[in-house]
Chains A and B, each alone.
Chain A
Amino acid sequence: AQRVTQPEKLLSVFKGAPVELKCNYSYSGSPELFWYVQYSRQRLQLLLRHISRESIKGFTADLNKGETSFHLKKPFAQEEDSAMYYCALTGTASKLTFGTGTRLQVTL
């Protein structure tokens, strides 16, 4: 069975502070990991996926197979980063398994 755990429902940080959104997963094979973001009144959209190894909007995520984690990080939070963030994985089939999401709130 595949499972994604996001332990924090809400993460509140000050503007300019570092951000780390936690994601742990359970999957017996070799998963593909994603971070999706949903800004207020917008649709769910892909932020990044681990195989592309890109940095999008200053965010990065490293797949740690030993710890089965895929934490999302950004060195300096911006107000426009406030949103709902979902970690997701896909295995051999293309269905996505999502975590319950973490709301990031960036305050001045």
Chain B
Amino acid sequence: DAKTTQPTSMDCAEGRAANLPCNHSTISGNEYVYWYRQIHSQGPQYIIHGLKNNETNEMASLIITEDRKSSTLILPHATLRDTAVYYCIAGGVYGGATNKLIFGTGTLLAVQP
């Protein structure tokens, strides 16, 4: 699985968009980009995933560069409840489903009032 690089921490003002970057320059062609978050020692929560195209769901948007070497997770209107550690993971697929995920240390996003 490809290694990812994320900033250790970021701040964001409540109500503003939070843009979390991730580098995955060694990602292979069949590896997806996944984003999870972990709120204060709870189990991680899935946010979004993508392969080549940009993706959007009710939680966030995922922008993947054309060369797939980096991506950005966008939380359009951050709230205090979005304060969490955000993990960017480049992982493979087995049998048509997510297989092993290799978590790094993630980005601690602190949303400020």
**A and B co-occur in one complex:** no
